[in-house]
């Protein structure tokens, strides 16, 4: 486990959650199993420095705008803003100096909660407006929760997400292919070769990304490749979650019945299969992460929303509050 002096530990009888001020990062999520043993179900790193290197984004808070922005540019109120391009000509997770790479301050803490704070100045990464943010992590019945809040002094765009990689069979158990994913989404947003949304919103019915009734991840990965809708040789898809408000987005279940349920108020869920893991990323327990070692489940706004007027807006204006809540709830087969 990372040095306790460099992290925050929240714990109950059945859950231990470890967090880092670096990136307001969720770096460990341990659940007590029926036999009394503990299982860490989220990927991480053995030391803080790894989060600045090969394990970047794992469990971190990503922003000011998560996911991709085409051409590293967008228009807001008639003004064009140029961003830091870090994935070819495009912006991924707000550039090389996104919020995952920042040292957040601890604004307050208690036995079952901690609140991190960050001020992002006007022009940060090319984005307009000074943005003042908090990320409050807390234990809740059955799991843990984060609530993001933010205000700005000028019109801007905001789309934060937590970027955890989940493996409900255990952080060092290998591929997630045999785990079953349910996503409560009737539609998804197809992408081009660069992972940018085309603007279309397509029904999942009849495709390999129809997870509404549950699907084994290995079968889904084979299916998206066969159908020609794979990204990075597997899953990297944005789902339009059914309903509005705080609701269940998805569930991931291991062969032995450990289930993680993600509940959020966000309009979309990015599901990324961890195709980039190649053994160079060493995990929390010291075991290298193989391809597909974890599944990223990111509740967020639509990718590239500022460049698609038909997508839900991520514009934040002075006098408004950005607020985003996501919970991770755990259940066992016997419960």
What residues are labeled active site?
163, 298
Query: How buried is 8 (Cβ within 10 angstroms: 0-12 exposed, 13-18 middle, 19+ buried)?
Result: middle
Q: How far apart are CA 118 and CA 102, in angstroms?
A: 8
Q: Which two tokens stand for residue 252?
A: 């991931």
In terms of Cα–Cα distance, which of 18, 49, 20, 291 is closest to 167? 291
Q: How far apart are CA 218 and CA 208, in angstroms?
A: 11
CB–CB of 248/242 below 8 Å?
Answer: no
CB–CB of 12/31 below 8 Å?
Answer: no
Q: Which long-range contacts (CB under 8 A, 24 or more apart) does 217-225 make?
A: 217/176, 217/177, 217/178, 217/179, 217/180, 217/181, 217/273, 217/292, 217/295, 218/175, 218/177, 218/178, 220/181, 221/177, 221/273, 221/292
Q: First CA to last CA across the chain, in angstroms?
A: 28
Q: How far apart are CA 184 and CA 167, in angstroms?
A: 19
């Amino acid at each position: 486990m990372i040095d306790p002096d460099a992290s925050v530990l929240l714990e109950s009888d059945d859950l231990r959650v470890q967090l880092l001020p670096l990136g307001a990062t969720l770096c460990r999520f341990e659940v007590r199993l029926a036999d009394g043993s503990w299982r860490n179900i989220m990927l991480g790193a053995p030391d803080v420095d790894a989060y600045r290197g090969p394990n970047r984004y794992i469990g971190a808070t990503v922003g000011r705008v998560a996911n991709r922005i085409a051409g590293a540019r967008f228009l807001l109120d008639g003004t064009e803003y140029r961003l830091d391009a870090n994935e070819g000509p495009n912006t991924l997770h707000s550039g090389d100096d996104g919020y995952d790479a920042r040292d957040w301050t601890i604004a307050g803490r208690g036995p079952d909660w901690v609140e991190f704070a960050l001020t992002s100045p006007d022009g940060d990464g090319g984005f307009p407006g000074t943005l003042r943010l908090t990320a409050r992590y807390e234990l809740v019945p059955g799991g843990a929760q984060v609530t993001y809040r933010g205000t700005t002094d000028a019109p801007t765009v905001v789309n934060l997400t937590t970027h955890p990689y989940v493996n409900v069979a255990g952080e060092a158990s290998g591929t997630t292919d045999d785990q079953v994913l349910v996503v409560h989404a009737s539609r998804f947003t197809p992408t081009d070769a660069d992972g940018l949304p085309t603007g279309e919103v397509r029904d999942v019915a009849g495709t390999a990304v129809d997870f509404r009734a549950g699907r084994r991840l290995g079968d889904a990965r084979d299916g998206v490749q066969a159908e020609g809708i794979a990204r990075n040789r597997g899953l990297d898809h944005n789902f339009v979650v059914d309903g509005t408000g705080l609701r269940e987005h998805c569930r991931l279940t291991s062969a032995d019945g450990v289930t993680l349920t993600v509940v959020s108020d966000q309009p979309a869920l990015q599901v990324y299969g961890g195709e980039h893991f190649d053994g160079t990323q060493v995990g929390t327990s010291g075991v290298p992460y193989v391809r597909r070692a974890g599944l990223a489940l990111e509740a967020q706004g639509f990718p590239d929303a500022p460049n698609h007027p038909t997508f839900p807006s991520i514009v934040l204006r002075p006098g408004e509050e950005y607020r985003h809540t996501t919970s991770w709830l755990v259940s066992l087969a016997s419960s």
